[in-house]
């Protein structure tokens, strides 16, 4: 092996040197000498020598050819595999999964205070807004993870439930004057109800057909919201959605407000911090319920359904009901997130609930690793955080974004965290995770 790799290096060096020589011959003329009208010499034609540029060009050719020889053209392994060896392997990521959860949790709880002390009330606002956005997507990702990751039902219209939640809150507040805390559970229930309504006819479909119908459902909801002008306001959206209160205390200036009651100086950042903790708690509840359900019979039935539906039926599991619970539960958490979205924005319109939202949420779940809770967090931070972070790149950020997704999928085709932990063990904590190669992705 070592003789072979020595040989490979020698051959590659020789080839690269030859390439470099040709480049030198070409570039010394093409780049090295530049004919110029020298202004100082009365319009005489002169030659400017640029040997540094030639050296750089030759070095690029030499280096590029050497690397391509070593890793692509003459390599034994395909380039993706070689690239993979530079990345941390699954074994190195496994302890990450174990420690990441408490680490992320502590960081998430402390985040507003860290930001406040680092940037002050004014400067930290944009970062807090970003954190709220990321956490919302974490919650949506966790909700969708129940449907796609655990039950293996490909849902391309998840944003419909997000929309149902948002519009439930906005409309209930507008027509009946309900407060956020009454509307939150109602929005979840309504979204779950729509999940069941959609689920009944749809869940007998499998795979691609299910994906298409859920996609259509997502669009139908949006189009209905767009066109039912008298009820939903159509493209004008709904504005003036009431803000949430802190147990009855509103975030307002003066007497009776949150700041006044606690003897603080009024600052608009209080409300932002409150919203951040609100979505954090909602997301954590989603996570807690999901993790809990995974260890219950219903969660195991979801995963069994993903593995083999026919075997499930032969064991007496009512697959329709089991799918419906997954769908309804996922929809419910989507509805909660939706009503949070409405109260945070104060304004919603159908434009916020386009297909691309569903795609982003699904991408978070898939990139994170189907069924992995911590994977969803990492993927949401990378995708949403990265997306906002690279706003400076303007139109190129889509390019960066696409490239990033390709790299992740080449490196880890089953998502960032793809090991499945058994829901119950005989040997206790010693039990190992199950490699993603063995786990099915579900067929619908």
Partner 1 sequence: MSAWDTNPVLTIEHLTMRFGGLVAIDDLSFNVGRGDITALIGPNGAGKTTVFNCVTGFYKPTEGRIVMNRSNGEHYLLERMPDFQISAQAKVARTFQNIRLFGGMTLLENLMVAQHNPLMLASGYSLAGIFGLASFRKAERDAVEKARYWLDKTNLIDRADAPAADLPYGDQRRLEIARAMCSGPELLCLDEPAAGLNPKESAELNALLQYIRKEHDTSILLIEHDMSVVMEISDHVVVLDYGEKISDGSAAEVKDDPKVIAAYLGVPDEEVDTVEEEVGL
Residue 250 neighbours by CB distance under 10 Å: 15
Q: Does 80 bind partner 1 (CB under 8 A)?
A: no
Stretch that binds partner 1, among 29-37, 66-74, 234-242, 428-436 (CB under 8 A): 428-436
- Residues 310, 392, 394, 395: which binds partner 1 (CB under 8 A)? 310
Q: Does 331 bind partner 1 (CB under 8 A)?
A: no
Q: Does 126 bind partner 1 (CB under 8 A)?
A: no
Q: Does 393 bind partner 1 (CB under 8 A)?
A: no
Residue with smaller CB distance to partner 1, 13 or 285: 285
Q: Rounded to whole angstroms, how far apart are CA atoms 167 and 190?
A: 10
Beta bridge partners of 36: 46
Residue with smaller CB distance to partner 1, 17 or 434: 434
Q: Does 324 bind partner 1 (CB under 8 A)?
A: no
Q: Can you tell me whether residue 325 is helix, strand or coil? A: helix
Q: Does 319 bind partner 1 (CB under 8 A)?
A: yes
- In the bound complex, what is the minimum distance in angstroms from residue 436's beta carbon to partner 1? 8
- Residues 144, 312, 379, 416: which binds partner 1 (CB under 8 A)? 312
Q: Does 204 bind partner 1 (CB under 8 A)?
A: no
Phi first, then psi, for residue 49 (nearest 5°) are: -95, 135
Beta bridge partners of 117: none
Strands (DSSP E) found in 14-62:
33-38, 44-49
Contact assessment for residue 159 and residue 219, using Cβ atoms and an 8 Å cutoff? no
Q: Rounded to whole angstroms, how far apart are CA atoms 163 and 183?
A: 14
Residue with smaller CB distance to partner 1, 239 or 318: 318
Q: Does 434 bind partner 1 (CB under 8 A)?
A: yes
Burial of residue 13 (CB within 10 Å: 0-12, 13-18, 19+) is: middle
Listed in sequence order, the DSSP H helices in 177-232 are 180-202, 208-227, 229-232
Q: Does 429 bind partner 1 (CB under 8 A)?
A: no
- Residues 296, 398, 399, 407: which binds partner 1 (CB under 8 A)? 296
Contact assessment for residue 305 and residue 312, using Cβ atoms and an 8 Å cutoff? yes
- In the bound complex, what is the minimum distance in angstroms from residue 414's beta carbon to partner 1? 11
Q: Does 300 bind partner 1 (CB under 8 A)?
A: yes
Q: Does 189 bind partner 1 (CB under 8 A)?
A: no
Could you say which DSSP state residue 149 is in? I
Contact assessment for residue 248 and residue 181, using Cβ atoms and an 8 Å cutoff? no
Q: Rounded to whole angstroms, how far apart are CA atoms 211 and 197?
A: 16
Element (H, E) at 298: helix 297-307
Stretch that binds partner 1, among 22-30, 92-100, 119-127, 420-428 (CB under 8 A): 420-428
Residue 404 neighbours by CB distance under 10 Å: 17
* Site map 36..65 versus partner 1, x via CB under 8 A: ------------------------------
- Residues 216, 298, 400, 405: which binds partner 1 (CB under 8 A)? 298
- In the bound complex, what is the minimum distance in angstroms from residue 438's beta carbon to partner 1? 4
Q: If binding means CB under 8 A, how many residues of this protein chain bind partner 1?
A: 39
Residue with smaller CB distance to partner 1, 350 or 371: 371
Distances in whole angstroms, Cα of residue 296 to Cα of each of 77, 286, 321, 430: 44, 15, 15, 20
Listed in sequence order, the DSSP H helices in 124-158 are 125-144
User: Could you tell me which of 73, 327, 92, 114 has the C-alpha nearest to residue 217?
Assistant: 327
Stretch that binds partner 1, among 176-184, 185-193, 301-309, 382-390 (CB under 8 A): 301-309
- Residues 28, 307, 400, 405: which binds partner 1 (CB under 8 A)? 307
Q: Rounded to whole angstroms, how far apart are CA atoms 371 and 422?
A: 12
- In the bound complex, what is the minimum distance in angstroms from residue 340's beta carbon to partner 1? 22
Q: Does 171 bind partner 1 (CB under 8 A)?
A: no
Q: By the criterion CB under 8 A, which residues form the site for partner 1?
A: 289, 292-293, 296-298, 300-301, 303-304, 306-308, 310-319, 325, 420, 422-427, 430-432, 434-435, 438-440
């Amino acid at each position: 092996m070592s003789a072979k790799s020595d040989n490979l290096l020698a051959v590659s060096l020789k080839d690269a040197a030859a390439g470099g020589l040709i480049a030198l011959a070409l570039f010394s003329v093409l780049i090295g000498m530049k004919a110029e009208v020298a202004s100082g010499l009365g319009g005489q034609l002169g030659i400017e020598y640029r040997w540094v540029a030639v050296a750089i060009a030759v070095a690029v050719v030499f280096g590029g050819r050497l690397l391509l020889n070593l890793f692509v053209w003459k390599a034994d392994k395909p380039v993706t595999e070689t690239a993979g060896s530079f990345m941390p392997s699954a074994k190195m990521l496994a302890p990450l999964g174990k420690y990441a959860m408490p680490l992320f949790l502590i960081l998430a709880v402390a985040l507003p205070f860290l930001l406040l002390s680092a940037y002050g009330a004014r400067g930290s606002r944009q970062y807090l807004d970003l954190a709220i956005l990321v956490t919302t997507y974490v919650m949506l990702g966790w909700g969708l993870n129940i449907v796609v990751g655990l039950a293996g039902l490909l849902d391309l219209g998840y944003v419909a439930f997000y929309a149902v939640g948002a519009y439930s809150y906005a409309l209930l507040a507008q027509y009946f004057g309900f407060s956020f805390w009454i509307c939150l559970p109602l929005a979840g229930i309504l979204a779950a109800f729509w999940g069941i309504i959609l689920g009944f006819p749809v869940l007998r479909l499998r795979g691609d057909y299910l994906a298409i119908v859920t996609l259509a459902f997502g669009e139908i909801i949006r189009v209905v919201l767009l066109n039912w002008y008298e009820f939903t306001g159509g493209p004008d959206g709904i504005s003036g959605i009431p803000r949430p209160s802190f147990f009855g205390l509103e975030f307002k200036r003066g007497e009776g407000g949150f700041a006044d009651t606690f003897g603080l100086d009024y600052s608009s950042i209080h409300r932002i911090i409150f919203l951040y903790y609100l979505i954090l708690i909602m997301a954590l509840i989603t996570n807690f319920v999901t993790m809990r359900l995974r260890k219950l019979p219903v969660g195991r039935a979801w995963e069994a359904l993903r593995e083999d539906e026919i075997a499930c039926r032969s064991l007496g599991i009512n697959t329709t009901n089991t799918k419906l619970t997954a769908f309804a539960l996922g929809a419910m958490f989507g509805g909660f997130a939706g009503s949070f979205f409405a109260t945070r924005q104060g304004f919603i319109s159908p434009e916020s609930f386009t297909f691309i939202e569903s795609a982003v949420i699904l991408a978070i779940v898939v990139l994170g690793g189907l069924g992995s809770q911590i994977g969803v967090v990492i993927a949401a931070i990378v995708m949403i955080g990265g997306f906002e972070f690279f706003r400076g790149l303007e139109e190129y950020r889509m390019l960066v974004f696409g490239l990033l997704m390709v790299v992740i999928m080449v490196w880890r085709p089953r998502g960032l965290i793809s090991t499945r932990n058994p829901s119950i063990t005989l040997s206790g904590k010693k039990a190992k995770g199950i490699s993603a190669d063995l786990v099915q992705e579900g067929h619908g």
